């Protein structure tokens, strides 16, 4: 039984669940429910599905993650970037407003859930290690710009189409003359209200005596006040009769638990988008989950998180929802509100279910401009304008990777943007590891330490060349190391010994072994011996399993100091006395 229970992390916090925990979780659930209602409706609008679908995606998915996820405070549901990717993915298979579109949205959630579950069972939580944070930040920033532009049509009350910058901007400019002034007034009011709430209200409340924590929580629930004010304005001023677009009738009730087996053609069309949504959703979720867990010295299991998010998406699919993931804003609110376990998410699901049953008549009067304003303010925090400046100063290759991802996403859309982001992250990793830092090192006088000859005053001997590759050796960089050694030997006729200082070599693959064998023969033909020093245990085990050590022209030394002193003592004439080689002194690593 225990073997199965380990896949249900909820059993851990349920064992010691107390009355105090229940009260804290209940308070957090009430606050998050208030936040989630407008968010769920807004992201349904962004995804192109009916508003009730957004509510459905905020009920069972919360329960699914609560049972199988490892973060105590992560809150899942529809989020901006995933909703945009959903709309983009579905646009090629069905028209918005049709039953086929809603069905395709559920299929997309199911496929996303299946991919996440499969990755979890295969223990592929390390996938985030292959995605460069700057590149992902660039993709999310570009997506935030596209999202904000796409929602301006609802704020201005105009028609505009497009999924890319080159499509949206001309469409908005062309239609701007048809701006509907009552809609614009509502949109600008809510935008201003939410912006002030985000940037000033917490400070103002603190000045009048409210403690900072409560002031911050109240400010974060501002979207619900924007919803209530705009609903009241529509009802009292008959703005609907003036042409202000409203959410309209939302069917009251809970989602029906059913699912139609999709056609193979639909699955093939949505498989790649679902995989991309899974990856980006997981990266966003695990980042938020780890950040919050660290603050309370808790642990998040990367592989189990895949299962938790997979369960959430499958739950969303069978309840007629859209793809979901852990959201930053709702998770932070949940954390700040004092949630201690995922029981808070289960209570939030109950709250959203009650809203679906009893509050939908009120939501009839909710302007779409209000939902659009809510989305715009939410995604402004996604746009990281500093990432370009920071990467430019720190690493030009990172800067080019971020800039390329942003440009591709803006010009060609989020699907191609995220695919390029993943590709660029992997290409950047391969590029860096294919040309590892290789330092020629020498002995620091009076010590047994060896450092880069370009950074320290060190002792070297012309007949001995010591190189330290600062990377594991594998197929992508083995040739580069061989070229560096061959070039050094070609330029220096005096070299009689080459020592590879392997202190940074944690792994060796077969291609690297073949390179070492070839290098050993080449050097031996020139009368030069190849030596190894400070070889780590796992690497040595691999070398011993082959015949390489038997044919090695030199020796394997436990320490670099032993290697240097032994070989120096074997040199004929005055060479053994050594000589001082001046080097440029720079910062120490």
Q: Are residues 365 and 466 in the same domain?
A: no
Average pLDDT over residues 165-187: 94
| The pLDDT of residue 247 is above 50 | yes
Whose structure tokens read 């080159």? 166
Residue 375 or residue 218, greater confidence:
375
| The pLDDT of residue 578 is above 80 | no
Three-class SS string for 296-317?
A: CCCCCCHHHHHHHHHHHHHHHH
Q: Are residues 423 and 445 in the same domain?
A: no
Least confident stretch, 396-405, 468-477, 506-515: 396-405
| The pLDDT of residue 134 is above 50 | yes
Cα separation, 318 vs 79, in Å, equals 19
Q: Is the pTM higher than 0.85? A: no
Q: What is the CATH number of the domain that holds 514?
A: 3.30.750.24
Q: Are residues 379 and 466 in the same domain?
A: no
> Is residue 329 within 8 Å of 35, Cβ to Cβ?
yes
Radius of gyration of the chain (CA): 30
Structure token digits, residue 79: 């989020």
Say how many domains are in the chain: 2
Closest of 82, 88, 86, 91 to residue 140, by C-alpha: 82
Q: Which of 126-140, 517-531, 569-583 has the highest mean pLDDT?
A: 517-531
Residue 582's pLDDT is 37
- β 529-533/497-501 pair status: parallel
Q: Are residues 419 and 473 in the same domain?
A: no
> Is residue 75 within 8 Å of 326, Cβ to Cβ?
yes
> Is residue 485 within 8 Å of 451, Cβ to Cβ?
no
Residue 428's pLDDT is 82
Cα separation, 523 vs 167, in Å, equals 61
| The pLDDT of residue 311 is above 70 | yes
Q: Are residues 442 and 410 in the same domain?
A: no
Q: Are residues 283 and 248 in the same domain?
A: yes
Packed helices 99-121 and 264-295: angle between N→C axes, nearest 10 degrees: 60
| The pLDDT of residue 355 is above 80 | yes
Cα separation, 552 vs 529, in Å, equals 8
Closest of 307, 311, 302, 308 to residue 125, by C-alpha: 302
Structure token digits, residue 298: 């808790």
Closest of 351, 371, 363 to residue 226, by C-alpha: 371
Is residue 5 in some structural domain? no
Q: Are residues 476 and 385 in the same domain?
A: no
- β 556-557/529-533 pair status: parallel
Is residue 13 in some structural domain? no
Is residue 242 in some structural domain? yes
**How far from the centroid of its chain's Cα atoms is residue 262's Cα?**
30
Q: Are residues 182 and 262 in the same domain?
A: yes
Render pLDDT for 255-308 as a digit per residue (tens, 0 to 9).
Answer: 888 777 888 999 999 999 999 999 999 988 998 988 888 888 888 999 999 999
Structure token digits, residue 240: 């609907």
Q: Are residues 321 and 367 in the same domain?
A: yes
Is residue 233 in some structural domain? yes
Domain that holds residue 543: 438-581
Least confident stretch, 181-185, 213-217, 246-250, 402-406: 213-217
Boundary (domain end) residue, out of 429, 455, 490: 429
DSSP 263: P
Is residue 3 in some structural domain? no
Is residue 9 in some structural domain? no
Render pLDDT for 61-111 as a digit per residue (tens, 0 to 9).
Answer: 999 999 999 999 999 999 999 999 999 999 889 998 899 999 999 999 999
- β 438-443/464-469 pair status: antiparallel
Is residue 489 in some structural domain? yes
**How far from the centroid of its chain's Cα atoms is residue 349's Cα?**
26
Confidence of residue 6 (pLDDT cuts 50, 70, 90): low
Is residue 11 in some structural domain? no
Confidence of residue 577 (pLDDT cuts 50, 70, 90): very low
Cα separation, 34 vs 218, in Å, equals 11
Q: What share of the chain has pLDDT > 70, as a percent? A: 96
CB under 8 Å to 156, separation ≥6 — which residues?
172, 175, 176, 179, 180, 183, 184, 187
């Amino acid at each position: 039984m225990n073997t199965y229970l380990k896949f249900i992390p909820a059993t851990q916090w349920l064992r010691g669940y107390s009355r105090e925990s229940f009260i804290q979780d209940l308070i957090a659930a009430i606050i998050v429910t208030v936040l989630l209602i407008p968010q769920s409706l807004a992201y349904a609008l962004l995804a192109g599905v009916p508003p009730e679908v957004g509510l459905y995606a905020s009920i069972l998915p919360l329960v699914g993650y609560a049972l199988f996820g490892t973060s105590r405070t992560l809150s899942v549901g529809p989020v901006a970037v995933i909703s945009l990717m959903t709309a983009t993915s579905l646009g090629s298979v069905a028209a918005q407003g049709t039953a086929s579109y809603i069905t395709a949205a559920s299929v997309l959630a199911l496929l996303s859930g299946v991919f996440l579950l499969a990755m979890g069972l295969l223990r592929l939580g390390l996938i985030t290690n292959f995605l460069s944070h700057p590149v992902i930040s660039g993709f999310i920033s570009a997506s935030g710009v596209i999202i904000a532009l796409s929602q301006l049509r609802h704020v201005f009350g105009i028609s505009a189409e497009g999924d890319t910058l080159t499509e949206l901007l001309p469409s908005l400019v062309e239609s701007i003359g048809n701006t509907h002034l009552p809609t614009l007034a509502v949109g600008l009011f809510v935008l201003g209200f939410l912006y002030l709430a985000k940037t000033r209200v917490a400070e103002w409340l603190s000045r009048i005596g409210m403690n900072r924590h409560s002031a911050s929580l109240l400010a974060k629930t501002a979207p619900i006040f924007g919803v209530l004010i705009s609903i009241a304005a529509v009802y009292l001023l008959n703005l609907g009769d003036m042409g202000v677009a409203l959410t309209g009738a939302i069917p009251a009730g809970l989602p029906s638990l059913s699912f139609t087996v999709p056609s193979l053609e639909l699955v093939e069309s949505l498989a790649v988008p679902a995989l991309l949504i899974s990856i980006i959703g997981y990266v966003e979720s695990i980042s938020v989950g780890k950040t919050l867990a660290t603050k309370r010295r808790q642990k998040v299991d990367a592989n189990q998180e895949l299962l938790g998010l997979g369960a959430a998406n499958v739950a969303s699919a069978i309840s007629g929802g859209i793809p979901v993931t852990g959201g930053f804003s709702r998770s932070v609110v949940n954390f700040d509100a004092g949630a201690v376990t995922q029981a808070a998410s289960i209570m939030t699901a109950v709250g959203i279910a009650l809203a679906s049953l009893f509050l939908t008549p009120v939501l009839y009067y909710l302007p779409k401009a209000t939902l659009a304003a809510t989305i715009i303010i939410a995604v402004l925090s996604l746009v990281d304008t500093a990432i370009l400046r920071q990467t430019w100063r720190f690493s030009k290759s990172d800067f080019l990777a971020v800039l390329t991802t942003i440009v591709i996403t803006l010009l060609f859309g989020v699907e191609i943007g995220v695919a390029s982001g993943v590709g660029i992250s992997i290409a950047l990793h391969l590029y860096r590891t294919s040309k590892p830092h290789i330092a020629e090192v020498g002995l620091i006088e009076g010590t047994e330490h060896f450092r880069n000859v370009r950074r320290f005053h060190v002792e070297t001997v012309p007949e001995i060349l010591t190189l330290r590759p600062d990377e594991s050796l594998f197929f992508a960089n083995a040739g580069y190391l061989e070229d560096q050694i061959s070039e050094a030997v070609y330029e220096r006729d005096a070299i009689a010994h080459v020592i590879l200082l392997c202190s940074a070599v944690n792994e060796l693959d077969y291609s690297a072994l073949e390179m070492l064998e070839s290098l050993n023969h080449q050097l031996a033909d020139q009368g030069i011996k190849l030596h190894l020093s400070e070889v780590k245990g796992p690497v040595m085990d691999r070398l011993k399993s082959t015949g390489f050590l038997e044919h090695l022209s030199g020796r394997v030394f436990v320490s670099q100091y032993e290697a240097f002193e032994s070989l120096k003592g074997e040199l004929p004439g005055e060479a053994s006395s050594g000589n001082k080689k001046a080097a440029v002194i720079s910062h120490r690593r």
